[in-house]
Amino acid sequence: MKALSFIAGRALQGLIVMVGVSLIVFFALFLTGDPAALMMPPEASRVEIEAFRHAMGFDDPIWVQYLRFVGGVLTGEFGRSLRFQRPAVDLLFERLPATALLAITALLWSSLLGFVLGTIAAVRQNGAIDFVIRVISLLGQAIPVFWLALLLIIVFSLNLRWLPSGGIGTAQQLVLPSLALGAYYFSAITRLVRASLIEVLGENYIRTARAKGISNFRIVVHHALRNALIPVITVQGMYFASLLGGALITEIIFAWPGIGRLAVDSIQTKDFPVVQAVVLFAAFTFVVMNFLVDVAYVFLNPRIRL
Amino acid sequence: MSRFWSVRRNADAVLAVTLLSAVTVLCILVPLFWPLDPARGVLAATFRPPMSVVNGQLHPLGTDQLGRDLLARLGLGTAISLGIVLLAAVISVVTGTLLGMIAGYFGGWIDIVVMRAVDVQLAIPFILLILLIVAVVGPSIGNLVLVLGVTGWAVFARVARARTLEVRELEYVEACRAIGVSDAAIIVRHVLPNIVGPQTVLLTLDLPRLIILEASVGFLGLGVQPPTPTLGNLIGEGRSFILLANWLVLYPGLVIGALVVGCNLLGDWLVRRADNRAS
């Protein structure tokens, strides 16, 4: 019962967050006071701007506009792209598979490798392997995505000529972008697993297990990792947002036709309905991810399941 | 005490301070004393590799596509980027701490509103929100400082609130309230001093995020407009020439890396030191 009300509470919280996000996304366009002038090219005449203002409904009271915006979002109608004269939602969903492929590949390699290396580092704490792994993960968090991406292109595309530097379609083209995108995530997971496992390995029940003569491998895999995982899972949702941000940059550099490139292109051409759709979608994914993490947390941690 | 200050224990801090002071020297001394103009190029001397000499003038880091000296541009660019980031950090810390303390101290609906606002802020990827706002208000240095600063408050508010909740229950705060000290005075004089330490540590750990964000916006060409150099602008402009002149991308990236590693090491060290003191 407690678990159910906990989950319901989190769902409600997610809903409130989405309302807040919709307010920000909507009112961001009014920061300069006149969204019509903002979206029209600078050489547009006064008459053209007025006509555009009326066509977009910017001359209605602001709360009417906001309700219309929210109503549209709820019925899947996000406004039309000014550049393509097509529904923004269609553009978004066209680009979605490319971003999903990139993000999932990056997520998979980085969490698997991060998990393994973090565990090794914790078991061999303060040893040589631990030192190497710590340096790698520190650098992985220090290097901006765009710089790492350019380095990868310089080394693997321009000098060694092993892998293509851009485009989509083949497995080889997926390697460099997913490497660049996953690097930060990989470092974060490695550091977290290491820190969390070291803490758990110092607990009394682990000492008891050791005293009983259970093998080191069994202690780490069966007894320690399970508990060490809990903090790692709770921050997954937070890091997911940085993954989305990183995808934006990665897609630009590797000419990857995903949502991130759509967002930057739309910002550069002042195609704000599309930008609004992308921001709302990103926030929605984030909220859903965090909700799923909360639910997983309930099942993993018996202390709140009671 | 002597063991605490042993070299091994503090190797991280020494490395951090070395990296950060190297960058500081670069961004103060180069704009002040390096004789070459970061904005003026020699068109006869484009894409010269590092350590080239042109007309008797040494270019330690080479020149760019317009024959401008990279060291001069990197020095000024680092100074501008750091200026933006530090000012933004001050805005983040001040607004975040203030809102967090108010939320934690008064509780009730203020607390609910502030904490939900934190959730909203953290739900939107920073870079996307910043690009959106900068696209609306225009990419001046002042706007960039404001946007980076205002969007960074959430983490500081969360930590300040948690700490305030603890401090609020302490006996001396109770005593203050009993003798009729005003809420504002309690917050400023008794709660704030307990929060300054943790917030400073948090700031060191949050600076790398701001540095990379500012550079990312510049890299995309949506931040401070060229020809003004920033760390991100330099890499963004150099990107088109990586086949020809990879030093244009390499050196600004190294500066960013040094800054971020330096801040992270310093932050971790501060956290460890605080833990040691507590135990």
Answer yes or no: do A248 and B212 touch at CB < 8 A. Answer: no
pLDDT of residue A306: 46
d(CA A186, CA A189): 5
**Position B77 confidence tier, pLDDT thresholds 50, 70, 90:** very high
d(CA A143, CA B216): 12
pLDDT of residue A89: 86
Angle at A232 between CA A231 and CA A238, to 5 degrees: 100
The answer to whether residues B266 and B13 touch, using CB atoms and an 8 Å cutoff, is yes
Count of domains in chain B?
1
Mean pLDDT for all residues in chain B: 88
pLDDT of residue B7: 53
Q: Give the residue among B208, B235, B173 at the shortest CA–CA distance from A143.
A: B208
- The rounded percent of chain A whose pLDDT value lies above 70 is 97
**Virtual CA dihedral for B2, B5, B8, B11, nearest 10 degrees?**
-170
Contact residues, chain B, for A17 at CB < 8 Å: 116, 119-120, 123
Least confident of A134-138, A220-224, B199-203: A220-224
pLDDT of residue B1: 40
Contact residues, chain B, for A32 at CB < 8 Å: 136-137
Residue of B127, B151, B259, B279 best to disrupt the A interface, most CBs of A under 10 A? B127
Answer yes or no: do B216 and A16 touch at CB < 8 A. Answer: no
Angle at B267 between CA B265 and CA B272, to 5 degrees: 95
- The rounded percent of chain B whose pLDDT value lies above 90 is 39
Q: Give the residue among B1, B6, B13 at the shortest CA–CA distance from B267.
A: B13
The answer to whether residues A194 and A188 touch, using CB atoms and an 8 Å cutoff, is no
B150-159 pLDDT per residue, tens: 889 999 999 9
| pLDDT of A304 over the 90 cut | no
Contact residues, chain B, for A267 at CB < 8 Å: 131-132, 135, 222
Residue of B120, B213, B255, B259 best to disrupt the A interface, most CBs of A under 10 A? B120
pLDDT of residue B2: 45
pLDDT of residue B279: 63
Between chain A and chain B, the number of residue pairs with CB atoms below 8 A apart is 131
Q: How far is B129 from chain A (nearest CA, A)?
A: 7
Answer yes or no: do B126 and A245 touch at CB < 8 A. Answer: yes
**Left if phi > 0, otherwise alpha if psi is -120 to 50, otherwise beta: which for A198?**
alpha
Least confident of A70-79, A100-109, A117-126, B55-64: A70-79
d(CA B37, CA B41): 8
Q: Taking residues A7-18, what's their average pLDDT? A: 89
Q: Taking residues B8-27, what's their average pLDDT? A: 87
Q: Taking residues B178-203, what's their average pLDDT? A: 89
**Position B259 confidence tier, pLDDT thresholds 50, 70, 90:** very high
Q: Taking residues A183-208, what's their average pLDDT? A: 87
Q: Give the residue among A246, A101, A109, A253 at the shortest CA–CA distance from A169.
A: A101
**Position B73 confidence tier, pLDDT thresholds 50, 70, 90:** very high
pLDDT of residue A56: 78
Q: Taking residues A214-243, what's their average pLDDT? A: 78
Q: Where in the sequence is the domain holding B129, given as residue range(s)?
A: 2-278
Least confident of A37-41, A72-76, A129-133: A37-41
| pLDDT of B4 over the 60 cut | no
Which CATH number applies to A96-300: 1.10.630.10, 1.10.3720.10, 3.20.20.140, 3.40.50.300? 1.10.3720.10
| pLDDT of A241 over the 80 cut | no
Better-scored residue on pLDDT, A43 or A257: A257
Better-scored residue on pLDDT, A62 or A105: A105
Can you count the helices (H) and strands (E) in chain A?
Answer: 14, 0
Count of beta carbons in the 10 Å neighbourhood of residue A22? 21
pLDDT of residue A180: 92
pLDDT of residue A213: 84
**Residue B45 belongs to domain with CATH number:** 1.10.3720.10
d(CA B225, CA B227): 6
Peptide linkage before B208 cis (omega within 30 of 0)? no
Among partner residues B124, B137, B235, which is closest to A32 by beta-carbon distance?
B137
B90-138 pLDDT per residue, tens: 999 999 999 999 999 998 999 999 999 998 988 888 888 888 888 888 8
The answer to whether residues B151 and B129 touch, using CB atoms and an 8 Å cutoff, is yes
Instruction: State whether the Cα torsion A188-A176-A247-A291 is positive or negative.
Output: negative
pLDDT of residue B8: 57
pLDDT of residue A195: 87
| pLDDT of A230 over the 90 cut | no
| pLDDT of A86 over the 80 cut | yes
Residue B235 tokens read as: 């890499």
Answer yes or no: do B242 and A158 touch at CB < 8 A. Answer: yes
| pLDDT of A242 over the 80 cut | no
Residues of chain A numbered 24-83 and touching chain B (CB < 8 Å): 24-25, 28-29, 31-32, 38
Q: Taking residues B56-68, what's their average pLDDT? A: 87
**Left if phi > 0, otherwise alpha if psi is -120 to 50, otherwise beta: which for A102?**
alpha
Residue of A17, A21, A165, A181 best to disrupt the B interface, most CBs of B under 10 A? A17
Count of beta carbons in the 10 Å neighbourhood of residue A51? 14
| pLDDT of B5 over the 60 cut | no
DSSP state of A97: H
Give this prediction's pTM: 0.86
Q: Which ipTM value was assigned to this complex?
A: 0.82
